[in-house]
A and B are shown apart, each in its own frame.
With several copies, the nearest count.
Chain A
Amino acid sequence: MKLEELFNAVRARGEGAHMAHVYYGDPCEDFSIKLIETLAENGADIIEFGIPFSDPIADGAIFQAACERALKAGVTPAKCIEGIKKLRDRGLKTPVILTTYFNIVYNMGLVNFLNKAKDAGVQGVLIPDLPIEEAQPLLELTRKLGLHLILQVAPTTSRERLSRILAEASGFIYLIGLEGVTGSKFRSKKTTATLIEKVKAETNIPVMVGFGISKREHAETLIAAGADGVVVGSAYARIYAVNITNPFERLSEIARLAREIKLGCIRGQKIKLNVSL
């Protein structure tokens, strides 16, 4: 499914969107496959599929550990892309955003990376260490291939740069809701709401808010504040990480959280639309 269609469908259902972020291969590929399917079946509208990197500077402790475990288990970028293919073969319809740090992309070669991603059934690409200043080559290539390069904005983004980013944005805007890294403690600050408003005022493409979201209420608040959806990542990894020798046992708990988050997305959207709950 295309991202546009997805957002239209979600909106049509009166919901906010829910993107679930996963680092593939942690602690093994089989689990990641199951995890992604579980998330997709329990309310995740988009899968943010992470290729583990040795030095994930935008990620907090939970995702760092996830990357470390995955790499130790022998996952490679090629295996990750294989994983997406496998998911598609197994019937996954959910849009997939392929996330990784720039060195992985640079190492594979930009064109090669994007071609492989597209072949595997990816809708968009997100590179958290690729600000707009460095994104030009990838913007051009993704456009050519019909892929979205998901750009981020943050509370520290200046008005000037915001315009520049929004002008290039495609698919959706990833709005970093706090100053920090993934997995930080959620802070519902006025600045986040203000930023959502600012972005929404300047663009029509959907706005997904991420970083620190781990509860239904978080999703609800943010979407009520104007966001089109939320991203949840570390909150899922945290659940299975405590039982890392047998993470499968935690899938049901993860499913429960995914449903909760989705519920928050729905309720938030209702509040935003002023529909009585």
Chain B
Amino acid sequence: MKGRFGIYGGQYVSEILMHALIELEEAFEKIYPSQEFQGEFQELLRNYAGRPTPLYYARNFSTLVGFKVYLKREDMVCGGSHKLNNALGQALLAKKMGKKRLITETAAGQHGLATVMAGNICELKTEIFMGVKDIQRQAANVKKMKLLGAKIKPVKIGAGVLKDAVSETLREWAACSRTTHYLMGSTVGPHPFPIIVATFQGVIGREIREQILEKEGRLPDAIVACGSGGSNALGAFKAFIEEENVRLYFVEGGGESLESENSAAAFQLGRPGVLHGSLMQVMQDPYGQIKPSKTRSAGLNYPGRGPEISYLCEIGRIKACYSFDNEVFDAVKVMARTEGLIPALETAHAIAYVLNHREEFSPGDIVVINYSGRGDKDMETILRYFYEA
């Protein structure tokens, strides 16, 4: 079924928005493959976003863990994470569709930044919805978005976090969908968003494939990626789904512990449910009320897993894993010391998994960690952890 991955996916939205989803789907199918779009988009990816990103052989880190580890350097994308791959694609699409304005939501600010960057390039106005708690926690990114010209809309409802901001953006979209594009930031939301985002992020895996073949003459044994919605992971995985010998690991935010209410591990603690327009793995109470997630990593702090990731984990193609907050901070330090790189807290989940589950890999293995972003945005949190604890 269109927009479905097994039971997951669909279009659970208000009737008001259906026209916009249908229009988007049609536009994507028509515009995306066009030479005009591809020309402009590839140009932007190359010269603005900085693609292809390197596939870096992390020699010192490899020595430490005992097998070959490559880092797919999405931290090198302009803005510091994979988010711009998708934001540029959708902004350009929105421009070609004749939209005048972009709206979206953001937690850590990474996707919000990517959106206003892409919006400026495409001369579209940008409005970013952000939970009041996240606004407080990410004050610097908020001002950065303002400096870039974005309008920030504080979201007071609920817990004032990402989940609430997504809801509020959907509401805003209902009021302006004729002129405004909702630039969804991950492989979540109603069809066709998960497919569009995964398509734009798919460049990651296509590059990995080409680069590892060039460097090693063979495919990797494993790819490890962090995620919540799943966009960087799917982006990295998609080119390898059919390759049975490539193990895929999806690492979600374990938070403080699985026992407490302090987690974002939806594959461990959730079950299928409908949130923000799509059926997916989601954390909820016994009655179907969505539960807030909790992790120190803002970008993983979402209670749902996108439909495609939900499906691929369900059928066992992807292994659903998690890392705990303290493991994540330690992984940041290890990466800093071995390779001089400070990863985003999200990314550090994938690194931590590799560090703490070495027994799952053999000495001859080639492992690719999708290094989804740099840690600049998390410096305060990281420094507080190490120097004030």
B20 adjacent to A156 (CB under 8 Å): yes
Which residues of chain B are within 8 angstroms of A240 by Cβ–Cβ distance?
none
Beta-carbon contacts under 8 Å, A108-155 to B: 108, 128-134, 151-155
Of B14, B16, B288, the residue contacting A77 (CB under 8 A) is: B288
A179-B176 contact in complex given A55-B275, A60-B171, C-beta closer than 8 Å? yes
Which residues of chain A are within 8 angstroms of B290 by Cβ–Cβ distance?
54-55, 103
Instruction: State the Cβ distance, B256 to closest chain A Cβ, in Å.
Output: 22
Which residues of chain A are within 8 angstroms of B274 by Cβ–Cβ distance?
101-103, 106, 129
Beta-carbon contacts under 8 Å, A168-200 to B: 176, 179-181, 184
Which residues of chain B are within 8 angstroms of A76 by Cβ–Cβ distance?
287
Beta-carbon contacts under 8 Å, A34-57 to B: 53-57
Which residues of chain B are within 8 angstroms of A133 by Cβ–Cβ distance?
10-11, 18
A64 part of interface (Cβ distance < 8 Å): yes
Instruction: State the Cβ distance, B181 to closest chain A Cβ, in Å.
Output: 14
- Please name the residue on chain B nearest to A155 by beta carbon: B16
Of A53, A78, A152, A156, the residue contacting B19 (CB under 8 A) is: A156
B287 adjacent to A77 (CB under 8 Å): yes
Size of the A side of the interface (Cβ < 8 Å), in residues, is 45
Which residues of chain A are within 8 angstroms of B18 by Cβ–Cβ distance?
131, 133, 154, 156-157, 161
B144 part of interface (Cβ distance < 8 Å): no
A104 part of interface (Cβ distance < 8 Å): yes
- Please name the residue on chain B nearest to A184 by beta carbon: B175
Stretch at the interface among B46-54, B126-134, B234-242, B276-284: B276-284
A158 part of interface (Cβ distance < 8 Å): yes
Assembled-state Cα–Cα distance A96/B279 (Å): 28
Beta-carbon contacts under 8 Å, B139-185 to A: 157-158, 163-164, 167, 170-171, 174-178
Instruction: State the Cβ distance, A219 to closest chain B Cβ, in Å.
Output: 21
Instruction: State the Cβ distance, A235 to closest chain B Cβ, in Å.
Output: 18
A103-B288 contact in complex given A58-B174, A181-B171, C-beta closer than 8 Å? yes
B216 part of interface (Cβ distance < 8 Å): no
Size of the B side of the interface (Cβ < 8 Å), in residues, is 36
A154-B287 contact in complex given A60-B171, A64-B157, C-beta closer than 8 Å? no
B15 adjacent to A131 (CB under 8 Å): yes
A156 adjacent to B177 (CB under 8 Å): yes
A156 adjacent to B16 (CB under 8 Å): yes
B11 adjacent to A134 (CB under 8 Å): yes
B13 part of interface (Cβ distance < 8 Å): yes
Instruction: State the Cβ distance, B273 to closest chain A Cβ, in Å.
Output: 5
Assembled-state Cα–Cα distance A108/B18 (Å): 26
- Please name the residue on chain B nearest to A158 by beta carbon: B19
Assembled-state Cα–Cα distance A58/B13 (Å): 8
B276 adjacent to A57 (CB under 8 Å): yes
Which residues of chain A are within 8 angstroms of B287 by Cβ–Cβ distance?
76-78, 104, 107
Q: B-side interface residues toward A, CB under 8 Å?
A: 10-20, 22, 157-158, 163-164, 167, 170-171, 174-178, 272-277, 279, 284, 287-290
Besides A106-B288, A179-B174, 17 more A-B contacts (Cβ < 8 Å) are A53-B289, A55-B163, A55-B276, A57-B14, A57-B277, A58-B16, A107-B288, A128-B14, A129-B13, A130-B12, A131-B13, A151-B15, A152-B14, A156-B18, A157-B18, A157-B19, A161-B18
